[in-house]
Amino acid sequence: MKDARFDRLGAFTYSPEEDTDAFKLTDNVTKRQKIQRQEEIMSVQEVISGELNRKKIGSSLKVIVDRVEGDFFIARSEYDSPEVDNEILISVKNNLLVPGSFYNVKIFKADSFDLYGEIE
């Protein structure tokens, strides 16, 4: 992971799925170990994602607004899937945006999994 530096990565604990080869295997990893491994993976990815997101500050992205949540319009770029990838937060103050519509946004702030932008 540290060498590949994935743009997006999600990790989930193992659970047996019927009709797969792995379903027949003995699951000898405790639930606690599974959670610990998943948290460790996501901890490494959080650092990588934060670094990659900070490189986007100053860039412009075409986004689609998905919804309004609290003080922000929640949008995503063409590279992001809803509800699992980065979100782009745009202040509702002084903006009359329409969910389902596209806008050009300039990124001014970033954290590990979200970007903050303003309408250009």
**What pLDDT digit, counting tens, does each position of 24-77 carry?**
888 889 999 999 999 999 999 999 999 999 999 999 999 999 999 999 999 999
Q: Which two tokens stand for residue 85?
A: 């990838």
pLDDT of residue 95: 82
Largest Cα–Cα distance in the chain?
57
* Residue linked to tokens 């003995």: 26
Residue 15: pLDDT over 90: no
pLDDT of residue 79: 87
Please answer whether residues 58 and 66 qualify as being in contact, where contact means their C-beta atoms are separated by less than 8 angstroms: no
* Amino acid letter, residue 55: K
Query: What band does 16 get if pLDDT is binned at 50, 70 and 90?
Result: confident
CA 115 – CA 80 distance, rounded (Å): 12
CA 64 – CA 105 distance, rounded (Å): 10
Q: Which pTM value belongs to this model?
A: 0.83
**Gyration radius of the chain's alpha carbons:** 18
CATH 2.40.50.140 matches 60-119? yes
pLDDT of residue 75: 97
Residue 109 half-sphere exposure toward CB, CA atoms < 13 A: 6
**What pLDDT digit, counting tens, does each position of 87-115 carry?**
999 999 988 899 999 999 999 999 999 99
Structural domain boundaries of the chain? 1-55, 60-119
Query: What band does 83 get if pLDDT is binned at 50, 70 and 90?
Result: confident
